[in-house]
Structure 1
Amino acid sequence: MTSPMKPTPSWGSPLVRAPESGAPTIVHLTAEYSPFARSGGLAEAVMGLANVQVQGGANVVVFLPLYRTVRDFAPDLAPLGRPLAVDLGFRREEVRFFREVHAPKGPKVVFVDIPSAFSRSGLYGEGGRDYADNARRFALYSRAVLDAIPRLVAGPVLVHAHDWHASLALLYLRHYAELRERFAGTPTVLTVHNGGYQGHFPPTALNDCGIPPELFTFRHAEWYGQVNFLKAGLTHADMVVTVSPNHATELRTADGGFGLHEVFLWL
């Protein structure tokens, strides 16, 4: 990313301080957020929810990948803390975090900068084809956010993941020893916006995305011989919600569940 930036500060003052009420800060993990990155209704839905929560008095932080499109709406960004070295799938990646210099009132938005994964023309692909490394891209984003939360958000949090892109965060949070300790007692929520998109990837994604092989089972992340990111989120979230009561009913049917209706019936 090329734009003038201030010197990188240390991890000193958190972006969000703990509220006096002791209520948790709501932390959203989403692949889209209006107006910075959007391809459909996900961006508007998460933006609308986050704003309503702020209006209700909640502390809210949204973590969004730093796509190229972000610069169209937020050309001036300031760094948040020093870079993090994130280990995932036997590889290490340097990740930086930014905020808007002149951010409007409302939810605080943190941009997760992983140039090798997100400095591209599209959000999910180009020329009508998905990027071949989408599994790794969003797994790395999810893992990086979990490492950043204690540095940027003071006090208790509620982790709210949206759709398949952020679902692995819930798996990591419950199965990585350091994350289990760090987030002990942290409630988690997964919202299913579009059950037709689930994040299906070959078994090679297990190593590439740091998914424990023992979770490649019908009860966790396996789906007809593939890794299913959405299923991994569904089986690890404390609560699963949908965009409407009708949507919840549809997802529990053979026609409306897109192959996951049995999993939705477990919930």
Structure 2
Amino acid sequence: MDSVIAATRALISEIDSTGVYRAANPALVRALGRSEDEVIGRNIRDLHPPEIARVFQERIDTVVAHRRPLDVDDRIDGPDGPVFFHTSLSPIVDRNDPRAPVRSVAIVSQEITARVASEETTRREAKRFRSVFDSVATVAVQGYDSCGATIYWNPASEALYGYTVEEALGKSLLDLIIPEAMGEAVSQEIDQMFATGEPISSGELLLQRKDGSRVPVFSSHALVAVPGERPEMYCLDVDLSELHRSRTLFRTIAEIAPVGIVLS
């Protein structure tokens, strides 16, 4: 374990309740620009800028007082741009006397700049993705969480199903557009989709408008996973009402026409 701690790029230390370093791995010593002898036994106020030392001590005090771990993300603005760290602080207690005061805190900090940049890029793409669907008038797009609660409802969905975005957001799709007879089956399909990552098969469905009337749609589904966030399900529905009316009209013509018309 000591060799792993020594080799890792994470910044690992043990600091007592007064802010004195009791241990520090090589990565942390290098980051401080000191030798190990210059770090161990020194107070954080001697090794860090005043504001950083103050925040460190506040977090140590919180862990010591509440006797439970603390996880935080930090941004440090450097000459080459912002650098992001994720830091975990855990209380160290006497195993033989769990009720004894916390004697020190184990701190592990890892740089997450690349991850944050990737997540930010994904969020921008998701925002762009939603703006595109906001402008599409012929495809009703809805987003749902794993419980079926509505998290996105584009203008085409308002037009197709009759609910405004304010009415739809936060409501279950089972209460909005799924006929009661389909509720249990749809709920099971959603659970399976989030559990397996496999989208629900596309196909024609007869869904329900706000006024209770039915509307035929061709529905496709996708599961979207954004790093650091919970997966979301998106449904893309195309109104088939006009197509159904055309089919009915053609069948009527075929029935009364002198020459048979074959419909597929």
- Bigger relative contact order (CA 8 A; separation at least 6): 1
Normalized per residue, the structure richer in strand is: 2
Q: Report the TM range for the smaller structure's normalisation.
A: under 0.3
Larger Rg: 2
What's the TM-score, normalizing by structure 2?
0.22
